[in-house]
């Protein structure tokens, strides 16, 4: 399929791909594909931002290219690099041939000149390693370009993105300018850890994706065939929504609701009790303090009329031996996790409060800071923790929710 015919068509086709969209979301997606404008989705972690880009690619039969943003990322990782390894390999193999080129050069200077004259061979398209932005423009087939968690990138990269999204072309000085045949559908996501520039917002269609309504969340849970009976799933959605009101460090997202439903189904639960929910709470809340808060609130969420004998919020006695009056850690079922997922699901509020300072966007913002056009507001050098790049790029490989 090549194009959506209507908003309803969007809803239908996304549903076929397992993505439940409401009319507001579907309308924005429809407009994105018709107006060739990038779609910027902001919202908390786990509400289906990344998933939408994947579903859009599947629904339109387009290849998905993903640029995962991270702090300190420089634009070569977004645009292109020279494939140094390949260049080296070729020079090794061609050593003899290169030897011939300089064989009768009278001195070093003329030898260097002769090599210089051949430079274009090694800085040609053959040795160009296209990264997602260039790849999306160069691709002969139309693609969906996902620029994920753009709020993690530095403002310098944001400016490069802006330029590319405005012109749909990338120029490589040694090779020439690549221009797109069919502009990609572009989806940018942000977890809201910082404000994006006004220029970027201006260029995009904007969608704020929040936690869904109870009906839509239930519909999503149903669509995942978790195995949990419908009545329990419905009750569970209500309970998760209650947990979201607790001001936890990390509120449970849709994926956690789904995980919880699966967990309870696997345990063969037939009734949602505060006990079983407490025992499995670590599936949905991942910080110790959050777990304690959640467990304190569960009896009330399960049964609003329950009278809870209050001892440090944990007095419901869920039956493990040696129970004393001290606050003790619950013994919830631990979910097997293969990597540090919390690392990529940041609660924006705190970080944002720390970062947002007035006048952060200087007057040159939105122009290319690399062009040296007298940019009066220097862009801060990035602070890069050593493991950062490896985690953002490498971590995706073994991960269930990645590509």
Ligand X SMILES: Nc1ncnc2c1ncn2[C@@H]1O[C@H](COP(=O)(O)OP(=O)(O)O)[C@@H](O)[C@H]1O
CA distances from 9 to 15, 40, 54, 237, 298 (A): 10, 21, 17, 28, 40
Q: Hey, which residues between 119 and 148 contact Mg ion (CB under 5 A)? A: none
Tokens 């345990």 belong to residue: 267
Residues 6+ apart with CB under 8 A from 57: 63, 64, 143, 144, 146
Nearer to ligand X, 48 or 299 (CB): 48
SS3 (DSSP) at 365: strand
Give the residue with the Cβ less far from Mg ion, 360 or 388. Answer: 388
Site string for ligand X, 51-80 (x = CB under 6 A): x-----------------------------
Residue 126 interacts with which of Mg ion, ligand X, none, CB < 5 to 8 Å by class: none
- Stretch of residues binding ligand X (CB under 6 A), selected from 168-176, 252-260, 314-322, 360-368: 252-260
Residue number, 323 or 337, with CB nearest to ligand X: 337
Q: How many angstroms from the chain centroid is the CA of residue 314?
A: 36
Of 50 and 139, CB closest to Mg ion:
50
Task: Give the nearer residue to ligand X in terms of CB position, either 213 or 223.
Answer: 223
Name the β-bridge partners of 169. Answer: 179
Q: How many residues bind ligand X (CB under 6 A)?
A: 17
Among ligand X, Mg ion, none, the one that 46 touches (CB under a kind-dependent 5 to 8 A) is ligand X
Measured between alpha carbons, how far is 318 from 321 in angstroms, rounded to an integer? 9
Residue 284 binding result from ligand X, Mg ion, none, given CB thresholds of 5 to 8 Å by partner type: none
Q: Are 356 and 195 in contact (CB under 8 A)?
A: yes
Which of 46-54, 110-118, 160-168, 388-396 is the region at the interface with ligand X (rule: CB under 6 A)?
Answer: 46-54
Question: Which region, left, alpha or beta, applies to residue 45 given φ > 0 means left and ψ of -120 to 50 means alpha?
Answer: beta
Rule CB under 5 A: say whether 50 interacts with Mg ion: yes
* Least CB distance to ligand X at residue 257 (A): 8
Instruction: Please state the closest distance from residue 50 (CB atom) to ligand X, in A.
Output: 3
Pick from 32, 50, 136, 190: which binds ligand X (CB under 6 A)?
Answer: 50
Q: Which of the ranges 62-70, 254-262, 278-286, 306-314 carries the binding residues for ligand X, by CB under 6 A?
A: 254-262
Report whether 74 contacts 161 (CB < 8 A). Answer: no
Rounded Cα–Cα distance for residues 398 and 400 (Å): 7
Size of the site for Mg ion (CB under 5 A): 1
Structure tokens at 192: 């809201």
Q: How far is the CB of 198 from ligand X (least distance, A)?
A: 23
Token duo for residue 391: 């985690």
Q: Which of 10, 28, 37, 49 binds ligand X (CB under 6 A)?
A: 49
Q: How far apart are CA 133 and CA 44, in angstroms?
A: 25
CA distance 227 to 236: 13
Closer CB to ligand X, 24 or 320, in the complex: 24
Q: Is 348 in the site for ligand X (CB under 6 A)?
A: no
CA pair distance 251, 345, nearest whole angstrom: 11
Instruction: Among 29, 45, 157, 274, indicate the residue that binds ligand X (CB under 6 A).
Output: 45
Dihedral (Cα; 394, 395, 397, 403), 10-degree rounding: -110
Q: Which residue is nearest to Mg ion (CB)?
A: 50
Q: How far is the CA of 344 from the CAs of 70, 168, 396, in angstroms? A: 10, 29, 10
DSSP state of 118: T
Can you give the binding site for ligand X, defined by CB under 6 A?
A: 18-20, 45-51, 189, 220, 223, 254-255, 258, 401
Can you give the binding site for Mg ion, defined by CB under 5 A?
A: 50
């Amino acid at each position: 399929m090549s194009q959506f015919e209507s908003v309803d068509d969007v809803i239908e086709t996304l549903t076929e791909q397992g993505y439940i969209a409401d009319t507001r979301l579907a309308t924005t997606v429809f407009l994105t594909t018709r107006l060739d404008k990038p779609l910027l989705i902001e919202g908390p972690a786990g509400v289906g931002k990344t998933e939408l880009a994947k579903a859009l690619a599947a629904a339109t039969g387009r290849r998905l290219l993903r640029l995962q943003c991270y702090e300190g990322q420089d634009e070569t990782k977004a645009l292109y690099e020279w494939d140094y390894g390949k260049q080296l390999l070729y020079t090794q193999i061609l050593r003899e041939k290169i030897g011939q080129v300089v064989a009768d050069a009278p001195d070093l200077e003329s030898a260097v000149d002769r090599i210089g004259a051949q430079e274009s061979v090694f800085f040609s398209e053959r040795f160009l390693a296209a990264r997602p932005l260039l790849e999306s423009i160069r691709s002969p087939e139309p693609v969906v370009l996902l620029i994920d968690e753009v709020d993690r990138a530095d403002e310098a990269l944001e400016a490069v993105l802006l330029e590319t999204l405005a012109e749909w072309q990338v120029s490589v000085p040694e090779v020439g300018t690549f221009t797109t045949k069919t502009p990609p559908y572009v989806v940018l996501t942000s977890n809201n850890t910082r404000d994006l520039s006004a220029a970027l917002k201006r260029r995009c269609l904007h969608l704020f994706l929040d936690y869904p309504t109870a009906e839509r969340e239930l519909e999503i849970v149903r669509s995942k065939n978790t195995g949990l009976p419908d009545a329990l799933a419905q009750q569970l959605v209500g309970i998760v929504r209650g947990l979201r009101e607790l001001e936890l460090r990390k509120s449970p997202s849709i994926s956690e609701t789904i995980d919880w439903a699966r967990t309870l189904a696997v345990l063969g639960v037939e009734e949602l009790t505060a006990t079983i929910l407490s025992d499995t709470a670590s599936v949905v809340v991942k910080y110790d303090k959050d777990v304690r808060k959640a467990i304190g609130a569960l009896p009330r969420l399960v049964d609003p009329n329950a009278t809870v004998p209050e001892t440090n919020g944990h007095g419901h006695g869920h039956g493990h031996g040696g129970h004393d009056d001290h606050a003790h850690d619950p013994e919830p079922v631990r979910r097997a996790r293969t990597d540090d997922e919390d690392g990529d699901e940041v609660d924006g509020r705190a970080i944002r409060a720390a970062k947002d300072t007035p006048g952060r966007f200087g007057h040159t913002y939105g122009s290319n800071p690399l062009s040296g056009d007298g940019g009066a507001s220097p862009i801060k050098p990035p602070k890069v923790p050593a493991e950062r790049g490896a985690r953002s790029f490498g971590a995706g490989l073994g991960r269930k929710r990645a590509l």
